[in-house]
Structure 1
Amino acid sequence: MSSVSFLGLIIVGIFILIPNIISTSCNIESDEKKLRFNKNGEFKILQISDMHYANGKDTPCSDVLPSQLQTCSDLNTTDYLRRFIQTENPDLVVFTGDNVHSTDAYNYNRSMDEVFAPAIESNIPWTAILGNHDVNVLQTGIPRQAVMEYIVGMKNTLSLLNPSNLEEDELIWGWGNYNLEVAGIKGSPFENKSVLNLYLLDTGDYTYSFTPTFYLGYEWIQPSQQSWFLRTSKQLQETYMSAPQPQPQQGPAPGLVFFHIPIPEFNNISKSDMVGVKQENVICPGVNSGFFDTMLAAGDIKAAFVGHGHTNDYCGKLCDIQLCYDAGFGYHGYGIAGWPRRARVINVKLDKTQDGNWGPVNSIVTWKRLHDDRLTIIDPEVLWTSAGRDQSKSVFKPIMSE
């Protein structure tokens, strides 16, 4: 959520220029970029949202207990991120926006380097999109495109500036719209098929208009993004369900969507249907762009994951799509004193075929880890299974034994 006044959008200010972002060229080589399920038939994603990193040890924490104030800073955020990565050992880390608190960063380049450092050091593939706080052109003079270009040039990242499969003369709104394919286990019949598809979308920051009606608020997922998303989903489904392959698949590979600002449909989840808590209103665009209906029309989306609301961490199903908050991770962003920061884990498991080989995706489960001494696991739940049945006991036995 924003602490930046919307008034800045309609006032012509004087830019406070800092050195230009310089793109690096040390990202993963093409032949190393292929994501695939591990030898245990699993693909684990660690979702990190709303770190709001600024200046390391000089950055004060927000909404912590009085006993924590003197020793708490951005360094707490990065230390916990290292612990999360070491504990979960994910196959992919996904940063879903508000990574850097741009209005507070002394040196934007340095803040970008430091906020992603734990992921880079782990040598685990990672990817990122932007939130509404990652860019403030009026104060920094750095446009959204340049910030995303910097991320794309960082080491070990799979982030893209925008899709590589745009058609001739096709334009797409925003920066950081792309998809990632996750192949089956090497040596299995599905090693050359994407059995899990990830879609990442830019939800922008703020906008205003005076005609035809006055609007001042958050941006939304635009028609050009939705058109690309639908076409890409259709292409992936056709590839997955067509020959040559071991056996024709009757349905699409499951898809997961990641973006920063929630869509209005997050309001439609009743508390009785939630796993997790809702402690603040759903702060979303004032315009419903129809993206939820677009996800339904695609036919492959099983869950959508967002950030933005730091004290909401619930999942709830709406029309067979799970809508999930991640909650705030960083200590510089707002929270609730005594309510631990947290992060979401998404674990996707493959099915075992009758001949003992690995098949398509069988289940998608999730849990959260709290920022406490034990990194306590809470709220394990099954988001989706291929058979549509509850497999909670068998799915969660390994993690609940901790």
Structure 2
Amino acid sequence: MRMAAFLPAIAVAVSLIFVPVWGVATGRASSAKQLRFGKDGRFKILQVADMHFADGRSTPCEDVLPSQRRGCSDLNTTAFVFRMIDAEKPDLVVFTGDNIFGFDATDAAKSMDNAFSPAITSSIPWAAVLGNHDQESTLSREGVMKHIVGLKHTLSQFNPPGEIDGFGNYNLEVRGAEGSSLANKSVLNLYFLDSGDYSTVPSITGYDWIKPSQQLWFQRTSKKLQRAYVSKPMAQKAPAPGLVFFHIPLPEFASFDSSNFTGVKQEAISSPSVNSGFFATMVEAGDVKAVFTGHDHINDFCGELTGIQLCYGGGFGYHAYGKAGWARRARLITVSLGKTKRTEWGGVKSVKTWKRLDDKHFTAIDSMVLWSKTYGGNRRKKHINRA
């Protein structure tokens, strides 16, 4: 939905790199890398929400201070992605929708090539879902997702029309550490859903919602993954944790106030007017520990509801609306394994998160534990630094 920041000097110096597509837009990139925990027992995800990329250098920034306007463009967004990748070295980059701002992008394919170029040129596995603005340029929603799955290093997947509502509902499995007894098991499951754009029901206005066919897909996928994880010979006692990514926040994001979340809420929750019950579906599944969305750019909080953390990424892009003087930001998620009695890496022990600001000091804020097996539930720790 409506962000601004200190503009790093490197931003204006970055030139966009045109990255051509490769292969054929099928369900999965044929050279997809198998995701796996590192030797240090960790797996790090960078969430990039709402880049709103358009035409590069000619695209102006929105909601920045007067002193920051000169020379500010989409290139600042690109520089921020590179800055995050260089500093945090994520194992996976997740783009949670409104990757391009269709109304201002004269060529959707070229805009996407440039928007995703930092992940592509850095040879980092990445995944994307669609927002409500991605299809407003020269490609349909179906065409946008087909283009995405044809780009290098992506793990994104395309749903052919008629199978499931939307065009990007898929899951990625993260294997245990190499050499451990869980090396061939998915110890972390990532779910990606297309939350749609706008309601197509004449009597219902506003944003779209996650449909029954998508929820059925999620239920079946979760059950399959849980059966695989707890089956013998590993005999795991609990399902592998799951993290869910999509663009438009659920109505349940409105359940919090300043006393029970970490971060800030500076605008109304722009969720669908229809509650399709997906939150209850996730609770019932039993494996989901956290949900990550975008859409509302100047909200960046995480709050726990019925054992699930609901988190905003915080607005990332400089062509996206924001709040002058309030830095653009990105969310990091680090998942850590625990040690077994044999002192080898076992299953997931904790899920932590924090944010980085695109300011002079690259400030880290709001470090918190989203879920921890040791504590037997959710636990959070607020960072003393605030945006």
TM-score (norm 1): 0.87
Equivalent position to 1:255, from 231, 239, 242: 242
Alpha-carbon distance change, 284 to 29 in structure 1, aligned in 2, over 3 angstroms: closer
The farther-off stretch of 28-37 and 142-151 is 28-37
Give yes or no for the alignment of 1:285 onto 2:283. no
Give yes or no for the alignment of 1:294 onto 2:281. yes
Q: Secondary structure at the match of 1:35?
A: coil
Q: Give 2:257's aligned residue.
A: 270
Alpha-carbon distance change, 32 to 110 in structure 1, aligned in 2, over 3 angstroms: closer
Q: Give 1:172's aligned residue.
A: 164
Q: Give 2:296's aligned residue.
A: 309
Equivalent position to 1:372, from 359, 365, 370: 359
Give yes or no for the alignment of 1:99 onto 2:127. no
- Partners in 2 of 1:357 and 1:191 — Cα distance? 11
Q: Superposed, which structure 2 residues align to 1:2-401 within 5 Å?
A: 24-25=22-23, 30=30, 32-136=32-136, 140=138, 142-162=139-159, 171-210=163-202, 214-245=203-234, 248-388=235-375
Deviations 1:279-310 (CA, angstroms, capped at 9, x unpaired): 00000101000000000010000000000000
* Per-residue deviation, 1:396: 11
* Per-residue deviation, 1:133: 0.6
Q: Tell me, yes or no, if the aligned pair for 1:26 and 1:155 is still in contact at 8 Å.
A: no
* Per-residue deviation, 1:353: 1.4
Amino acid at match of 1:25: G
Q: Secondary structure at the match of 2:221?
A: helix
Q: Tell me, yes or no, if the aligned pair for 2:93 and 2:119 is still in contact at 8 Å.
A: yes
Q: Tell me, yes or no, if the aligned pair for 1:55 and 1:106 is still in contact at 8 Å.
A: yes
Q: Secondary structure at the match of 1:187?
A: coil
Deviations 1:64-121 (CA, angstroms, capped at 9, x unpaired): 0000111210000001110100100000000000000011012222111100000001
Deviations 1:174-218 (CA, angstroms, capped at 9, x unpaired): 0010000000011110000000000000011012433xxx21211
Q: Tell me, yes or no, if the aligned pair for 1:49 and 1:326 is still in contact at 8 Å.
A: yes
Q: Give 2:7's aligned residue.
A: none
Q: Tell me, yes or no, if the aligned pair for 1:180 and 1:197 is still in contact at 8 Å.
A: yes
Q: Tell me, yes or no, if the aligned pair for 1:316 and 1:323 is still in contact at 8 Å.
A: yes
Q: Tell me, yes or no, if the aligned pair for 1:44 and 1:348 is still in contact at 8 Å.
A: yes
* Per-residue deviation, 1:391: 10
* Per-residue deviation, 1:389: 5.7
* Per-residue deviation, 1:374: 2.3
Alpha-carbon distance change, 330 to 396 in structure 1, aligned in 2, over 3 angstroms: same
Decide which structure has the larger Cα Rg and report it: 1
Q: Secondary structure at the match of 1:218?
A: coil
Amino acid at match of 1:181: E
- Partners in 2 of 1:73 and 1:204 — Cα distance? 27
Amino acid at match of 2:233: P
- Partners in 2 of 1:26 and 1:123 — Cα distance? 19
* Per-residue deviation, 1:388: 2.3
- Partners in 2 of 1:257 and 1:389 — Cα distance? 20
* Per-residue deviation, 1:242: 0.3
Deviations 1:31-70 (CA, angstroms, capped at 9, x unpaired): 6521000110000000001000001110010000000111
Q: Secondary structure at the match of 1:272?
A: coil
- Partners in 2 of 1:209 and 1:229 — Cα distance? 23
Across the aligned residues of Structure 1 and Structure 2, the Cα RMSD in angstroms comes to 2.3
- Partners in 1 of 2:283 and 2:261 — Cα distance? 20
- Partners in 2 of 1:318 and 1:216 — Cα distance? 27
Amino acid at match of 1:144: R
Alpha-carbon distance change, 91 to 223 in structure 1, aligned in 2, over 3 angstroms: same
Q: Secondary structure at the match of 2:205?
A: strand
Q: Secondary structure at the match of 1:350?
A: strand
Q: Secondary structure at the match of 2:338?
A: strand
Q: Which has the higher contact order (CA 8 A, sep 6+)?
A: 2
Q: Tell me, yes or no, if the aligned pair for 2:366 and 2:382 is still in contact at 8 Å.
A: no
- Partners in 2 of 1:108 and 1:322 — Cα distance? 33
Q: Tell me, yes or no, if the aligned pair for 2:29 and 2:155 is still in contact at 8 Å.
A: no
- Partners in 1 of 2:270 and 2:201 — Cα distance? 19
Amino acid at match of 1:87: A
Runs of 4+ in 1 over 6 A off after TM superposition: 26-29, 390-393
* Per-residue deviation, 1:26: 8.0
- Partners in 2 of 1:299 and 1:390 — Cα distance? 12
Amino acid at match of 1:189: S
Q: Secondary structure at the match of 1:156?
A: coil
Q: Tell me, yes or no, if the aligned pair for 1:208 and 1:217 is still in contact at 8 Å.
A: no
